[in-house]
Amino acid sequence: MKKLLLSMLCALLAIPALAQKNVYKFSVKDGNEQTVKLKEYKGKVLLIVNTATKCGFTPQYEELQKLYESYKDEGLVILDFPCNQFGEQAPGSFRDIHSFCTGNYGITFPQFAKIDVNGKNEAPLYTYLKAQQGFKGFDKNNKIGQYLDTKFREQNPNYDKDPSIKWNFTKFLIDREGHVIDRFEPTADIKDVESGVRAALKM
């Protein structure tokens, strides 16, 4: 009974987020815990990413920075949200994380305070993102994708029906009007991400 009530409460709390028509009604915290309204990015194409500094996918920071440098003048902004929910692979303070990312990968795109992307404390922004674009499946043409699919399927044979974030470096693509138009799982090739970005910039 308690679990049912808790589930109902979580669902009710999620309603305001799900009712939004775009991402511009949401606010997030920057590294100094100052509020940033996403409406500040109106007219931009956004790539929203949950990241970690101690993950096998961490080198994707280099790919993301190159992508940002290639398309920022056309209107691309990458929004980086460190998250420690997956294997506790984003340890330390925001300053620790930011120093690591700038020192090792030279990132210059906006990086925000650590958040939860799943569960009772998940950021409302992520409740909305997941409702708009569900899980797209791991790329099983590579060993990492095969491993992750096997791992999650052992825990839940129907895990792929759940829209939750599965791991670090899941990416959501937002068009210039704030609509969530695509989702890329961590195993997606950066070339596919780039193709999506290019198409969104031309819309």
φ, ψ of residue 194 to 5 degrees: the values are -60, -40
101 is catalytic: no
**Separation of alpha carbons 129 and 46, rounded Å:** 12
C-alpha closest to that of 77 among 111, 128, 123: 111
* Active-site position among 10, 55, 83, 101: 55
CB 76 within 8 A of CB 47: yes
**Separation of alpha carbons 77 and 154, rounded Å:** 37
Active site residues: 55
